[in-house]
Chain A
Amino acid sequence: MVTAANLLAFAAFADGKFAQAFPTFGSERMGAPVASFVRIDKEKIRLRSQIYEPDIVIVQDSTLFGAIDPLNGLKKGGLIIVNTKKEPEELGIDRKFSVRTIPATSIAMEIFKRPIPNTVILGAFAGITGEISMGAVKEAIQKRFEARIAKLNIEAAERAYKMVKG
């Protein structure tokens, strides 16, 4: 989760934008709901508060809908990207939002044999929003992982990118 946010922000930086990424500073433990925040801007980012009215929400685990409201504060017409095998209509999300889905964990299981959807979602985010380029996504991944792991992650991101581009 924190990794996905950092990679996303790094990709925006690699595209020449200003970016800021930070976690909700909890006592992290596996399985507990966690949030990370990313701001992307053309200008230097000074604001330090958490994000209460996001333009885009990425939900990495769709079971969170039962535990918390990930859409709280999402702007009208805002975009939500959910990691799920379901189609957007099946999620029952308010129609004032734009909903996209990506089976990121399934793709991760195929490629990594482990449920680590970060870079799959990153590729999907690039394809859906255009806020970050695939070139920058690759750069972010190459910077973060050693060559062999990076190759798999780039494959994962590209698969998701192509899938959402249809």
Chain B
Amino acid sequence: MSDEMVSNKKYRDKQKRKDGFISLFIGFFAFVWIFPILWTVWTSLRPYNEIISYGIFSWPRKLTFDNYVNAVEEMQIVGYLINSAIVTIPSVILTLFFGSLIAFVVTRYKFRFNLTILLLFTAGNMLPIVLTYIPVFWMFIWVGELFGNRNMFYNNYAGLILVHVAFQVGFAAFVLSSYMKTIPKEISESATIDGANVFRHYWNVILPLLRPALAALSVLMTTWIYNEFFWALVLMSDDSKRPITSALRRLQGQYVTDFNLLAAGAIIAALPTVILFFVLRKQFIAGLTLGSTKG
């Protein structure tokens, strides 16, 4: 009896040590991750003057929200937020639509090249976008000129949305097809026997079952596309059409950059995604592990 208690206690001690170690480990890395963000917040509260006079690591003499007030004024934030919405919302909807279509075909129908197609779409994601941007740029210009309007895609929301859809659809197809494989084949079989055609099978049978996956994926996609800056930069020549990330660039001068103001701007620009994350964090975490149990 006492023997058992001793070993129990030993076990519990061991477990406690283990837990302590794990907490320490996680705490350390959490700190490493959160530190730059805390530092940005800290920087955003200090006036520029103090930094140039006393250095970055000096003890603060004054903490203010002035940087935030100035950033909101300088950034013309509302216009850029609307631009971000114009780009992000259609991109996410189209990506999910096309991604689910591909996933539907490659998982529900057996034909010779279905795995190849899936791999092809996923492989597109592996290309670094800086490699593809010059060809994409010229493609947009040439296709536009073919129709007599250089700006049909270039310097146009249509082009930017198209690029986002093209680059994200591979990942969406990959994730959704993994998820779709977990939906029993029998459901599809009975739908077919009941006389559902292909589109009805997709729209009325599979799509409703896909809802959790779509929700999770849309949160991820929104964050990615919202934070994306590169394509907007190279494919939009009008600054007034660029997304929120461009508003931040307004805060940088030709020579002198007020990093405290920039920090405040960065916090403001990051807020929507952070809020989105906290509101939908369940879906977010589901999204990260989506399809991980079956591949």
A and B assemble together: no
Question: Which residues of B does A touch, CB under 8 Å?
Answer: none
